[in-house]
Structure 1
Amino acid sequence: MKWKTIKHVTIAFSISLFIGLTAHVVYAEESSGFSVTPVLEENQIEAGLGYFNLLLKPEQKQTLKFNITNNGKTPVEVETSFGTAFTGDLGNVLYTPNKIKPVSSLKINIKDYVKLPKTVTVPAHGKTVVSAEVTMPHETFKGVIAGGFNFNEKENGANTKGSEGAKSGASITNRYTYVIGLVLQNSKDKVDPALSLGTVTPSQVNGRNVISANLKNSAMTYLLDMNIDVEVTKLNDSSIKYSFDNATLKMAPNSNFNLGIPVSIQGALKNGQSSVPLKAGKYQLEMTVYGNKNTNGKYQSMVEGQITKYDYKWTFSKEFEITGNQAKTLNEKDVTIDHVKETPWMLYGLGLVILALTIIIFILVYKSRKKKQEIES
C-alpha cells in the first residue's frame, strides 16, 4: 500500500505589532516552490511593512500587485483567495478563507470589496505579476477592516514536487502557502476594543473536556497582547476548580472565539495518568482580561515575574450549569478518562438492591423453615 504524506509549508508575512502578527517564516528543505512579494504602495500608513496597510477615502479604488516567483524547474499553478480576519480558538488571528458565520457587529466585510483572479500559472524559473482590485466602502468608518490574501500551490501531480521511496512506498510532497495581510482605514483615529463575555458551556477540544467561554470583540480594531486569567469553581464543592492563564492572545476586529478552559489533561498522558471526569452541577466563572501593552498604561499585571502595563482591563463573572446528560456525554468521549475505573453509580445501586433482596429472601426462607420445624415438633 502506498501512503502519501503532504508537508504544508506556510510563509506568513509579519503584520507587526499593529495587528499582532509575529513574523512566522518556515522554509522548505528544498529550494523549489514559489515565493510571493507584495508591491507596497506610496499610501502605506507605515513604511517597511510586509503587508498592505492603506489609508483610503470612501469609494476610492486601488490596484494592489504581487510578484510571484517560481524557483522550480516546472511551471506552478497558484490558487489565490482572500479571507476576512478572524480569531481562532487558540486566541490567534487568522486570515484564511473560512466558513465561520461573521459576528453581528461586522457591518463591513472586507472580502466583499476585494477582487483577484482565482488561479495563476507561473513559468519555471520565471515571475508573474498578480493584480487585485480593492474598492473602499461608500460609507465612512472609524477603525479598520482587515483580511489576508492567500496564495496556495495547487495540489495536483503537475504542480507538487515529491520524493518517493521505492522500498517504503512513501511519497512526501512539499506544498507552499503564503498569506499577506490587508488593512484598510479612512483615518488614523484610535478606536478602543470592546470585549464581552458570551455563553459559557462544557465542550471538548481534541477529545478532551474543557469549559468553553465565548469572548467577543465587537469593535473595528485589533485587541492585542491579551492577558487572560480565569478560574471556574463548582458552587457546592470548592475543591473542584479549573484555571487557565495566557498572556499572548489576540483578537481580530469584529470577531469572537471560544476560549477553552482545561478540565481534562490536555497534553500527553504519563504512565498510569488519567483525567478526573467532569461533574454535573452549578459553577461560577471569574475572569480578568488585560489588553494592549503600553508602558504608560493605567492597568498593570504580573507577567513572568515582571510588572506589565496595559491600556485596557475587563472583569467578567458568570454562573452556569453543567447538566448530568452533558457531563455523561462528554465523559464518554473524553480519551483521557479511564473508563474502566469509572463504574456507573447505577451499577452500585443495582448491586445494593440485589444484595438487599438476597438478604430478605434468606430471612424469609429461614423464618419459613423455622416455623415449619416448630409445627412438626
Structure 2
Amino acid sequence: MKKNNYLFLFAIITGFLISIGNPAASAADMNYSVKAVIPENQIDQSKTYFDLKMAAGEQQEISLEIENSSDQDVTIQVDINTATTNRNGVINYGESKGSKDSSLTYDISKLITGENEVVLLPKEKKTVNYMLTMPKKSFDGILLGGFYIHKKMTQEEIESEKNVQIKNDFSYIVGVKLTETDKKIEPDLELNTITPGLQNYRTVVNATLQNTSPIIISGMTVDAKVSKEGSDKILHETKKDNQSMAPNSSYEFPISWDNQELKPGKYTLLLTANTEDKKGWNFKKNFEIKGDVKKLNKEAVEIEKTDNLYFYMIITLIAILVVAGILFFIIKNKKSKKTKHII
C-alpha cells in the first residue's frame, strides 16, 4: 500500500510539473493557489491529496481551499475526472477525450458533485465544498481520479491568444484515491486491438493494453516485437521502461515502424510486459495491415519509400541497358557498312 501511495504522489507531482511548464512564465500566470482540506478519515495525514477509506454508500463532504493572489477577479474552472492512462504510459488526471474503459465499474467523476466554476474577488480566499458519495455496492481495490483546476480565460485573453501557436495552460491537480477494503488485488493485463496509425506524423502500429483490475500498475517494462506471420525475423521492435497504468484503463502502446511505409500484409506481434514486482505477461497475436493505409503513409513525414526506390532503380537500370543495347547496335551497324564500302 505504501508503495502505491508513493507512486500515486509521484504521478500527481509529475502531472503538475508538466502542466505548469516554464517557471518564469508560470510565476506571472499562476496568480491563484489550490490545496486540499485534509479530512480526519485521511489514511495518511501527511499526504496533500485525498486518500480516503470509506464504507459502501457513505457520504462525505470534501473541500478545496482556493485563493486569488491577484488584484483582479478570477474565475476558476474545477473539473472532476477519473484517472486514465495516456499513450506515453503515464497516469493522467486531466480531461480524457476517449470513452471510459470497458472494465471500469465506478467513475469518480460521477461520485463527486459540486461547483464547476468558482469566482474569486481580488485577494479572496474561499473554501469550496464537494459531496462525495461512495457506490452502494462494496468494491475491492481502489478508485482513482482527481480535481483538475485551472483559470478560466477572459474574452480579452482569448482574443489575445488567437494568433499564438503555443498556448500555456497552467493548472493544479488534486488527486482522489478511494478504498473500502484491505483485500490485496493482483493486476491483470490484456492485449486487445492492434491497429496501424501515426504518432507525431510517424508510422506506428498501436497495441492496445488494458489494465482490467482496480489497482495501479507501475514500473512496467513493455517490449513489443513485430514479424511477418510465419516468420521469426523481427521487423520492428519497441521497448519502453517505467510504464504506469491507472486502475481499469487502457492505452495504445505505439510500436515504431522505423520511418517505413505501413505495408499491407499479415503480421505477428510478440509482446512482453513485466513490473518491478516480478509480475509478467506474455502475448502473441496475429494482425493484418490492410490496403487502406495509403492515407497514413501519405501523411507520414521522413518516410523511407523503399519499394519506390527499388522500383525506380530497376527501371533506371533497364533503361540504361536498353539505351546501351541500341547504341551498341547502331555503332556495330555503322562499322559493318564502312567495311563493305572499303572492300
TM range (shorter): 0.7 to 0.9
Between the aligned partners of 2:157 and 2:137, the Cα distance in structure 1 is: 43
Query: Is 1:285 paired with 2:269?
Result: yes
Matches within 5 A, 1:1-377: 16-18=6-8, 21=11, 23-24=13-14, 25=17, 26=20, 27=23, 28-30=26-28, 33-157=31-155, 175-235=169-229, 241-264=235-258, 275-291=259-275, 293=276, 310-323=277-290, 325-337=291-303, 342=308
Aligned length: 308
TM superposition shift of 1:327: 4.2
8 Å CA contact 1:32–1:72 kept in 2: the answer is: no
In structure 1, give the amino acid aligned to 2:146: G
Instruction: Please state which structure has a larger fraction of its residues in helix.
Output: 2
State the alpha-carbon separation in 2 of the partners of residues 131 and 88 from structure 1: 29
* Structure 1 position 151, deviation (Å): 1.1
What CA distance in whole angstroms lies between the structure 2 residues aligned with 1:172 and 1:290? 37
Partner-residue secondary structure (3-state), 1:16: helix
Once the 2 structures are TM-superposed, how far is the Cα of residue 120 of structure 1 from its aligned partner?
0.8
Question: Partners of 1:170 and 1:187 in 2: how far apart?
Answer: 49
Give the distance between the partners of 1:40 and 1:145, measured in 2 at CA.
18
Q: CA RMSD in A?
A: 3.3
The alpha carbon displacement at 1:91 in A equals 1.0
Structure 2, unaligned stretches of length 5 or more?
326-343
- Report the Cα distance in structure 2 between the residues aligned to 1:240 and 1:328, rounded to whole angstroms: 23
1:46-83 Cα shifts (integer Å, max 9, x gaps): 23112101000111111111111111121211011101
Residues 217/117 of structure 1: CA separation in 2 closer, same or farther (3 Å cut): same
Cα drift, residue 287 of structure 1: 1.3
Q: Which has the higher strand share?
A: 1
Q: Distance in 1 between matches of 2:30 and 2:287?
A: 53
Q: Structure 1 residues 280, 36: closer, same or farther in 2, change over 3 A?
A: same
| Partner SS for 1:29 | helix
Aligned partner of residue 21 in structure 1, secondary structure: helix
Using the TM superposition, give the Cα deviation of residue 343 of structure 1 relative to its aligned residue in structure 2, in angstroms. Answer: 5.9
Q: Hey, what's the Cα distance between the residues in 2 that align with 1:133 and 1:238?
A: 56
TM (normalized to structure 2)? Answer: 0.79
Match of 1:30, SS state, is: helix
Extract structure 1 runs of 4+ deviating beyond 6 A: 169-174, 346-349
Partner SS for 1:69: strand
State whether residues 37 and 62 of structure 2, in contact with CA within 8 Å, keep that contact through their aligned partners in structure 1.
yes
